[in-house]
Amino acid sequence: MMVEERISKVEEAVAELARFQAETRADIRASNARTDARLQSQQAEAERDRRQADADRQQADQERRANAERFNRWEERMEKERAEDAERFRQWEVRTEKERAENAERFRQWEERAEKHRRDFNRRLAEISQSMGTLIEDMVAPCGFQLARAIFATEEADTCGIRIKRKHPTIAGEMMELDLLAVGATKALVVEARRRMDAGQAQEYREKIARIAEFFPELRTKTLHAAVASVYLEPSLIAFLNRQKLFGIALGEETMEVVNLGAFRV
C-alpha cells in the first residue's frame, strides 16, 4: 500500500512538473512573442525614423543646392555689376584725363598767347618810348629798384629818381643830367638811356661818369655802378661794356633786365 502511494505521489509530482514546464514554455513563448512584437515595432519605428531622416537630408540637400544656386546667381550679378561699374569708371577716367589734357593744352596755348601779347606790348611800348624820347619814364624808371637790387646784390636802393640835373658848384654854365640814379646805403647806380647805344656813346658815358663826383659830391662815399640802357644791345656792344665795366640794360621777356650781370667785377 505504501508503495502504491509513493508511486502515486511520484506520478503526481511528475504531472505537476509537466504542467509547470508546459506553463513555463507557454510563458516563454508568450514573452518571446511580446519581445518579437516590440522588436518589430522598434524596427518599424527605426525604419520610419531612418526614412524621415533620409527625407530630411534630401530636403536639406535640395535647399543647400537651391541656396548655392541662388548665391552663385547673386555672385554672378554682383561680378557683372562690378565689371560694368569698373568699365564705366575706366571710361570716366579716360574722358576726365582727356579733358584734363585738353584743358591743360588750351591753358598752355592761352599762356603762350598771353606771354606773346605781353612781350609784343612791352616791345611796342619800348619802341614808342624810344621814338618819343620817354624810354626812361616808360621802361627804365618802373624797374629802377629792381635793377638796383640785381646789380647791388648785397643791398637795396633806398631812393630812386629820374632825370636828375645838377649844376657844377664852381664852374658856371656847366650842368650834369643823370637819366636814373638809385642810391643805397653803400652803393649807387647811375643809368644812361639812349634810343640807340653804340660803343662811342658808351665811351662818352664812361668819361661823363669820371666827373660825377664834381656834380654829386655826396656820391664820393658810395661804390658807383654805371649802366647804359636801350631797347636792344648788340652782342659786340655788350662785350665792349664788359671791358669797360659798364652794366648793360635791355628789354627782356617782360621788363628791362641787366644783360651782363656777373660778367665782370666792379
Domain that includes residue 227, residue range = 135-258
Please indicate, yes or no, whether residues 151 and 104 belong to a single structural domain of this protein: no
The answer to whether residue 265 is domain-embedded is no
241 within domain boundaries: yes
CA distance 221 to 185: 10
pLDDT digits (tens, 9 = 90+) for 107-120: 788 777 766 666 66
Do 213 and 186 have their domain in common?
A: yes
- Over 60: is that where the pLDDT of 1 sits? no
Residues 185 and 74 in one domain: no
Task: Tell me which of 79, 108, 132 is where a domain ends.
Answer: 132
Same domain? 116 vs 152: no
Q: Is residue 120 part of a domain?
A: yes
Q: Are residues 48 and 153 in the same domain?
A: no
Least confident of 73-77, 98-102, 124-128: 124-128
Q: How confident is the model at residue 151 (pLDDT cuts 50, 70, 90)?
A: very high
Q: What is the pLDDT of residues 152-179, one digit of tens each?
A: 999 999 999 999 999 999 999 999 999 9
Q: Is residue 194 part of a domain?
A: yes
Is 20 contained in some domain?
Answer: yes
169 in the same domain as 122:
no
Residue 12 and residue 18: Cα distance in Å, rounded? 10
Burial class (CB in 10 A: 0-12, 13-18, 19+), 189: buried
| 249 and 225 within one domain | yes
Average pLDDT over residues 58-64: 81
**Do residue 92 and residue 153 come from a single domain?**
no
pLDDT of residue 134: 63
**Which CATH number is 236's domain given?**
3.40.1350
Number of compact structural domains in the chain = 2
31 lies in some domain:
yes
Where is the domain boundary, 132, 154, 173?
A: 132
C-alpha cell at 88: 564705366
Same domain (yes/no): 123, 242: no
94 and 10 share a domain? yes
264 falls within a domain:
no
Same domain, 93 and 206: no
What is the residue-averaged pLDDT of the chain?
84
Q: Which residue, among 115, 201, 191, 122, has the nearest Cα to 157 in the 3D structure?
A: 191
What pLDDT shows up at residue 217? Answer: 95
Please check whether residues 128 and 152 belong to one and the same domain: no
* The pTM of the whole model exceeds 0.85: no
pLDDT at 129: 47
Instruction: Supply the pLDDT for residue 245.
Output: 94
173: region left, alpha or beta (phi > 0 left; psi from -120 to 50 alpha): left
Predicted pLDDT at 122: 59
Residue 263 lies inside a defined structural domain of this protein: no
> Which domain-ending residue is among 114, 132, 150?
132
List CB contacts of 164: < 8 A, sequence separation 6 or more.
177, 178, 181
